Structure 1
Amino acid sequence: MKRSINTDIAFTHIITRKRQTLVAALGVTLGVGIFLFMNSLTSGFSSFSTDEMFKNSAHIKIYKDDELSQPLMPFPDSRHVAVIVNPQITTLSKKIINPEQLLSRIKKQPYVVNAIAQVGFDAFYNRGKAQLRGDGNGVNILEYDAMFKTGKYIVAGSLNGVQGNLNGIIIGSGIAEKLNLGINDNITVTSSYNVVKVMKIAGIFTTGNSITDNAKSYMNITTAQQFIKEGPSYVSNIFINVPDPNESEKYAVMLQQLTPYKVEDWKTTNADVLASGKTRDILMSAISLSILVVAAFGIYNILSSTIAQKINDIAILKATGFAGKDVVRIFLSEALIMGFIGTLMGLVVGGVLIAIMSRIYMGGPVGYFPIRFEPGLFAKSFGLGLFITLCAGYFPARKAARVDPVEIFRK
């Protein structure tokens, strides 16, 4: 029964002070709306950045790492210092020994979605006196497309022009533009091993990443092996995709047990990019949370002023038998009502902003603005909005509960 009376009193305060209630609710609306919008924006950009990485980067990569020259006088005892004179990289070849067997073992693992071999080399693209430096990639183009969805970035020609064609090549749009080349044109490709081949352009792709579009090309894996004067068993990298890229570190540890070569997950490869993204996420979250906290102070101030104005009413309530916890419930109910209204309005405002931004077309490979509805963020914003308002209402309510009715009546 008392609980019902407490709620009635809270609603009476809310209704009789409509303007202050609206101001407090609008403050929470602004805080929750901006919090939801900025966190959705951050999540969208993070997903977009990750998708950009996976255009050319597998979840896990296996390769032969560089080796440094060993000490001239190695000492097993840590009390002695090993002597190294002019340490240098001593790796003579990046070749993976018996790659077919290793690739077969990898594909048999239940957690492997895709696994392909690749031969990479430094390439120079020439047309007349014009020359560009880039990266040549020898792959099975259909397997590569299954892993990286390369086909959707093709703007001219097709992938089939390279499959089984030792003279075909697919180049980035930046290369085609700078050398003024088109489909079926010839391009002279020179490797760092001084192997020169005249190849026919079978396709042109654009990913929106200028570094990739201005340097990368794809060709038959046998052709790439010829460019570096290696036999048909030569493979420099093995790319692997797993079901969940966020668990790539765990899968990399499992794959390391299958091979002595370096197994590196995409998070290690892109550690600097991920660190920058994490810094951005923390910054955006801190700003949005600060706005929400500032909005909570509005509720705190309104409840404090209500308590100051209703001090005689509070004294009467306590004198008629209301306990301190009842007074706390009254003002906490007021805070929760204002917070609930403001939070719901904030979710609507944030949802409208997300809907507007998601319909803005950025053009190119980016497409529409990278922001999307995420139920988890809506739930997080709702819970956080109520929690902040509850904290903002608790301290004034606690102060009201300590009111001594005798001292108030004396005044």
Structure 2
Amino acid sequence: MVFLALRHLLARKKQTALIMLGIFIGTAGYVVISSMILGVQDFMRDSIIENDAHIRISAREEPVTPESIRTELFDANEFVRWRILPTGRRGHAHIQHAQGWFDRLQANPDVLAYTPNLITQVIFRRGSTTHSGTLIGTDPIRQVRITAIEDNIIEGSFLDIGHSGNRIVLGDGLLEKLGARVTETVLISVGKGEPEPFKIVGTFHIGIPQFDDTMAYGALGDVQKINRTPSRITDIAVRLVHPENAGNIAATWKSIAVERIRTWEDINEQILSAFKVQDAMRYIVTVAILIVAAFGIYNVLTIVITQKQREISILRSIGFDSGDILRLFLFQGWLMGAVGGLLGLGAGFLLCIYLGSVQFYPENVAMKGYLPFSFDPSIYLVGFCLAFSAAVIASILPARHASRLTPIDILRQGME
């Protein structure tokens, strides 16, 4: 059976080679595209997990409503009629019972660390250059247990923000936009308040623009002072022992809390949604390539069956039944799919290793200038299954047609 299948395929070497080349390219392309996309996704996911809280407990926005104003300013039996309904938001949202949360988190075995934060939107100014951004007030000693910020410092020290005086650490993208350097001073203002000078004591690079281009850290007390909210916090950043359990833990906390509870997946929902689109696109591209290869297999087997009708007749005459003929031509398709798929996997693997060693961008860009590639075994398993499945499906119709041919049918076609 194997000998006959190989003989049929080798009888038309060019066509067989071209079809296997199509499967080879499709499989190798799937491996490279999938490895690169999953590598970038893993890098982004790891960066998010390592550089932000796994769960963030935030103060809820308190909108001003007619009912809330009536309750605070009037007696229950007084009738109140509004000419203009009051709207808006209360001055500063903050966590009102922070100590209760601290006690709860301290006693929770799933919590690795936590720290209070005051997060506010500010304007950074250096000379005539201004830029908006996010200023996070934190306890630096606790913060380094929540995120990998200290590991991402490229100049200075994160812990220096804890020293006396207004000190901040900026993302390198924000530092560049301001045209500033470490040891220089920038002015920071909140809303319409007077700007306060802050000394830059360090800069960090995470590799994600939403962090590097807009974010700065300062000591909690300094940020509370510039925000005019002494002793208040807006968030509690929590790091878990197992980040994958964030959803279940957050769901439990939501049932007993008035604060807003968000996991790292909730906060980065748009990024994670983009991952799903990328996954869909890589499958669409690969399937399109393999469909072309599958049509090639179909055409080759159809031509082989047409040209080998005399041999099929002889095989049927010496005892081959329809099942044997079916398996003979199915095996030819399987063989092309298996060999082309395996060669494609090997080529894709080697190409990923090579591309992963090439520095495409400057070292200070995300991922140190190198493209990240994932070598997850599932990529290669799925790639081979796609290639082999395309070959199997493409072989079914020609093989069934060949199995239905009888010596009498072949003789009749020859006489015609």
Same fold by TM-score greater than 0.5:
yes
> How do residues 8-157 of structure 1 correspond to structure 2 at under 5 angstroms?
8-54=3-49, 56-70=51-65, 86=85, 88-128=87-127, 130-157=129-156
Cross-structure match for 1:262: 260
- Give the match's secondary structure for 1:283: helix
Q: How much has 1:261 moved relative to structure 2?
A: 1.0
Give yes or no for contact 1:125–1:131 (8 Å, CA) kept in 2. yes
Q: State the alpha-carbon separation in 1 of the partners of residues 105 and 256 from structure 2.
A: 8
> How do residues 313-392 of structure 1 correspond to structure 2 at under 5 angstroms?
313-361=311-359, 362-363=361-362, 364-366=364-366, 367=368, 368-392=370-394
Q: How much has 1:392 moved relative to structure 2?
A: 1.3
How well do the aligned residues superpose, as a CA RMSD in angstroms?
2.8
Letter in 1 for 2:57: I
**Taking structure 1 as reference, are residues 55 and 190 closer, same or farther at Cα in structure 2, changes over 3 Å only?**
farther
Q: How much has 1:305 moved relative to structure 2?
A: 0.8
Give yes or no for contact 1:102–1:259 (8 Å, CA) kept in 2. no
Q: State the alpha-carbon separation in 2 of the partners of residues 153 and 291 from structure 1.
A: 41
- Give the match's secondary structure for 1:33: helix
Cross-structure match for 1:79: none
Q: TM-score of the superposition, structure 2-length normalised?
A: 0.85
- Give the match's secondary structure for 2:119: strand
Q: Which runs of 5+ in 1 are unaligned?
A: 1-5, 73-82
Q: How much has 1:258 moved relative to structure 2?
A: 4.3
Sequence identity percentage: 26
Letter in 2 for 1:192: G
Cross-structure match for 1:76: none
**Taking structure 1 as reference, are residues 109 and 396 closer, same or farther at Cα in structure 2, changes over 3 Å only?**
farther
Give yes or no for contact 1:165–1:220 (8 Å, CA) kept in 2. no
Q: Which runs of 5+ in 2 are unaligned?
A: 68-81
**Taking structure 1 as reference, are residues 193 and 235 closer, same or farther at Cα in structure 2, changes over 3 Å only?**
farther
Residue deviations 1:173-211 (CA, integer Å, cap 9, x gap): 345445554333333333337265433322122334555
- Give the match's secondary structure for 2:117: strand
Cross-structure match for 1:409: 411
Cross-structure match for 2:78: none
Q: How much has 1:309 moved relative to structure 2?
A: 0.8
Moved more, 375-384 or 264-273: 264-273
**Taking structure 1 as reference, are residues 185 and 38 closer, same or farther at Cα in structure 2, changes over 3 Å only?**
closer
- Give the match's secondary structure for 1:162: helix
Q: How much has 1:376 moved relative to structure 2?
A: 1.3
Letter in 2 for 1:359: S
Q: How much has 1:253 moved relative to structure 2?
A: 0.8
- Give the match's secondary structure for 1:403: coil
Give yes or no for contact 1:35–1:292 (8 Å, CA) kept in 2. no
**Taking structure 1 as reference, are residues 164 and 259 closer, same or farther at Cα in structure 2, changes over 3 Å only?**
farther
> How do residues 260-299 of structure 1 correspond to structure 2 at under 5 angstroms?
260-299=258-297
Q: How much has 1:137 moved relative to structure 2?
A: 1.0
Q: State the alpha-carbon separation in 1 of the partners of residues 7 and 403 from structure 2.
A: 18
- Give the match's secondary structure for 1:372: coil
Q: State the alpha-carbon separation in 1 of the partners of residues 138 and 46 from structure 2.
A: 21
> How do residues 173-252 of structure 1 correspond to structure 2 at under 5 angstroms?
173-192=172-191, 194=193, 196-210=195-209, 212-232=211-231, 234-242=232-240, 245=243, 248-252=246-250
Q: How much has 1:307 moved relative to structure 2?
A: 0.7
Q: How much has 1:396 moved relative to structure 2?
A: 0.9
Q: TM-score of the superposition, structure 1-length normalised?
A: 0.86
- Give the match's secondary structure for 2:87: coil
Q: How much has 1:378 moved relative to structure 2?
A: 0.9
Q: State the alpha-carbon separation in 2 of the partners of residues 58 and 370 from structure 1.
A: 24
Q: How much has 1:53 moved relative to structure 2?
A: 3.9
Cross-structure match for 2:309: 311
Q: State the alpha-carbon separation in 1 of the partners of residues 66 and 313 from structure 2.
A: 85
